[in-house]
Structure 1
Amino acid sequence: MRRILTSFIFISLLLVFGVQCTFLEKEKNKSIWDNPVALDLDEIVKRGYIRAVVDNSSTSYYIYRGRRMGYEFELLRNLASNLGVRLHLIVKSNIEDAFVLLNKGKADIIAMNLEVSDERKKYANFTEALGEVSTVLVQRKSGQMIRNIEELDDKVIHIPQGAIYKSQLCDMQVDSTFSISIMEVREGREQLISQVLERKIDYTVVDKDLALVNATYYRDLDIAFEISEKSPVAWAVRPNAPELETAINSWISKRKKSGYLATLYSKYYLNSKNSYFRSNSAFSSLGGNMISEYDDIIKSAAEHLGWDWRLLASLVYKESAFNPAATSYAGATGLLQLMPVTLERFGVEDPNDPYQSLMGGVNFLKYLDKFWRERIPESNERIKFILASYNIGHGHVEDAWKLTMKYGKNPQYWEHVSHFLKLKTDPEYYRDPIVRSGYAKGHIAVNYVDDILILYNSYRVLVEP
C-alpha cells in the first residue's frame, strides 16, 4: 500500500512539473520583469564592486586548497579588474533564482554558461557569445541505454530548475506520439551527474563540454546521445543596463582576439587530468570538505577567538596561503605572518612550528579584539576593525576612528571609518592634530579587509562548518 501511495505521489509530481514547458512564469514577480531595477555601469563603478551569479562546479567556480578557481571565476575576475571594481560572487544552482536576483538588482551578471534563447531574452539581455555548446543526455553505460528519441517515451529525466534543457526536451515531443517526463529539481548539473552515477536517477541533460569533462574520468557515463545541436552561450545582464552590456562585449571581443578565452577554456575543459584531480581532491569544495592540511589546528585556534574557523582560514590564506615556512620581504613568518617582535611578545618560541605560530597570531587577534571591544560592541563590525588593525596597525585604524567622530559620521560602522582610513594619504587628514600615527596607505588595509571577507563568504557557502 505504501509503495502504491509513493508511486501515486511521484506520478502526480511529474504531471505538475513535467507538462510545463516554459522557462519562467511571467506572472510570477511580474513587476521585476516589466520594471527591472535601474542599475548600470556608472553606479556599479561608483559602488566599487560588481556582483555575478555563478554555479559551484568543476568548470564554473569552486575552492581548491583555499584558492578560488573556475572558468567563470577567472573570466569574471579579469572583467572586474578591467572595469576597475572588485568582484562579489553569488553561488546558485537554480537558474530561475539567478534571473530573479538579476532583475531585482541584487546581481549584475549571470555567468552560468547560458544558452541564448528567445524565451530567455524576455527576461534579460545577452552579451556577445563566449562560445557554442550542444546538449547531451547523460546516462549510465550499465543502465538501460537510450539511442534514439522514441526510446525516451515514459522516461524520467531530471534537470536543474530553470535550465534551457526543459524547452529542448519539450521541443522533441512536438508532433510526436511519445511523452517525456521532466522533473525539475534544485540540484546543479554536476550534482545530477553524480546522482546518475550513484543510480539515484537514470537520466539528466547537461552541456556537452561539461559532460565531456566528467566522462573522461567516470567510465560508466555515456554522453553520446545529443539532445540539441550547438548554439551560442553567453552571460545575461539586465535589459536596462546598456552601458554594462557594451563594456562586457568590448572586453569579450578583446579577450577573444588575445587568445585569453581559448587558453582559459583549455585549462578547465580540455585538461581532463587536472579537472579530475581538482574535482576529487579532499581539498576541493567539489570532492571533499577540507580547505588545507591545517584545518584541524585552525579550528582549534578559532575556538579560542570565538570565530567561525572558515574566517580564520581566510585570514591564514591571505597571509601565507597555508605555507608555514612563508617569509615576507619584511621578515614576517609563519601561517599568520608575524614579525619577530610580535612572535616574542605573544609567546612563540618556535616560529617554524605551525601550531605555535598560528596561536601567536590568534593571541595577537585576541589583543586587538580587546582593544576594540568597548568602542565597537557589534561583533561583525568589530571583526573588520580587527582585520584592518592586523594589517596596518591599530594606531592607524584608531586615527581613522577619531576622524570619523570629528566629521560627524558613525565611528561604530566600518563603512564610515574605512572612508577616513583611505584619506590618511591626504596631508589635510594625516596632519590633523588628533591623528597620532601619521601617514598611511589606508586603502591597502581597506582592500585587505574586503579580500578576506569575500574569501570568507566563498568558504562559508562552499565549505561545511
Structure 2
Amino acid sequence: MPAPMSRLAQRRLRLSALLLLGVVLSLLPYRHFTPPADLLKAVRERDFLSVHTRNTPTTYYEGRHGPTGFEYELMWRFADHLGVSLTLDASHHVMSVVEAVRREGDLGAATLPLDPGQEGLIFSRAIFDLQPVLVYRRGLPPINDPTGLAGLEVGTIRGSGADQALRGLQADYPELGWRESPEVEVPELLSRVESGNLDAAVVYDHQFRTNRIFFPGVERGFAIGQPLSLAWAFPAQGGLRLQQEANRFLQQLQHEGALTDLVNRHFGHDDYLEYVGARVFIAHLHERLHDYTALFREAARSTGFDWKLLAALGYQESHWDPEATSPTGVRGLMMLTLPTAGEMGVDDRLDPVQSIDGGARYLRHIKDRLPDSIQGDDRLFMAMAAYNVGLGHLYDARRIVEQLDGDPDSWEDVRDALPLLQKREWHSQTRHGYARGGEPVIYVRNIRRYYEILSYVDRSQQQYLQLNESNGEEADDGPLFEIVPPIL
C-alpha cells in the first residue's frame, strides 16, 4: 500500500493525461448522457472525478508550478479525499458549466452561486460568501450608491449571480439598465471598464480584489444586495451520495481551519502593493519594459531564471532606469555595487546589457551558494533577499530562526526573523551585526507581486501593451453583450 504522499504524487502525474483526455472528449460528437443513479459509486469505479470549470484567476488557471486556483485546489483535495484522480473540462463559461453538469456530471466548480431553484441540479453546502460589488472607471465621479449609475454603461456576466444582484437592484431603481453576457470573464469586464468601453461593471468582491492589481484604472464603488454563497453543483439524477460526501469533505476542511487558510491564501493578499504603486508599475510596463525585454530573456536563457522574475527584480531595483544611482553608490538598472560589478565582470554598470546580464548571474551565484537543504521557492526567495541584504545577514537570520526553534530552510521563518536584525538584542549576537532587516522582506514581497502582474500580462489575451497601443479605442461588442433595458 503506497504512502499517502506517493499516491498523491502518482495522481498528479496522471493529471496532465486526464486533462488532455477531457479536451479530446469535448471534441467528440455530443451524445446525451444520463448520470448513473449512484454517481459516487460510478466515480470510484472509474477511478476519476470529472469536473466542469472555468479558466479564471479565481477558479482555475495554469500557474508557474502547474494548475492552480482556489476552486482547483478544492477539487484536487476532494478527488484525493475520494481516492480517485481528477480530470477537468475548463473550456466553459459560467452558463455552459451548469448545462454540462446537467447532461454529463460529475461536478461543476466555477464560482457558481448556490441556487436551489436550478432545475436538474443539486448544490453542496455553502463554501464562502460572494458579495456583488459595483466597480467603475477611475476618473468618473465617485459612485457610492445606485443613483450614480444614471446614464452609465454597466456590464456583468450573465448567469454568474452578479446579474441577479442587478435585477434585484432594478426593482428599486427601474431606470437602471445594463449589458450582460455569459461569454465574458471578470478580467475582460475590468479591461473594458478601464479602456472606456464600459463605465462600470458588477462582479464579486473577491474577484475584484484578486484582479484589481492588474487594473489600477478601476475603482471599487458599493456593495449590491446581500452576499450569495459559492457552492458546487451536481446533477440531480446522480443521486445524493456524491453531494453528501462533498458536504462532509467541506465541513471537515472548515472544522480544521483549512478552508479559511485556503480562502486567505488566494483572496487575502490584496494589500501587497498600494494602488498608486500598481498604477506606476503598469505605466512603466508600457513605457519602458519593451526596451529591455530581449535583454531579460537572454539573461534568463543563460541563468535558468524566468525572464519575468528578472524583470520584476530589475523593476524593484531601479524602475527599469539604466542610469539609476543610489546615495550609497549602487548604480544601474540592476543596481550593482562596485565590488559586485567587479566580481561579475561588469565594466560599465550604466550599460543595461551588462547590468541585466551581471545582475542575473549574481542572483544565480547567490542561489547556487545557498545550502542544499533549502529547496524550491524557499531557495529562490532567500536568494532574492540576499541580493538585497547580503548573504551574511541572510545567514544571521537563519541562525536566529534556529534559536527560535524554527526551520532555517523555510522562507516564512526566515522572513519573520530578518526584521529582528534591526534590534540590538538580536543583532548583537550575530556575526554580521545590524541590518535593515525589514527591507528584504518588502523587497521579496514586491518582486513576487510584480512577477504576478508580468505573468498575468504574459498569459492574458487582454495584454496591457495591446490596450495601451489601442489608445482607448473601443472594441466592437458585436453580439457579445445582450442589453437589459430599464423597466420604466
Give the TM-score of the pair, scaled to structure 2: 0.47
Give the TM-score of the pair, scaled to structure 1: 0.49
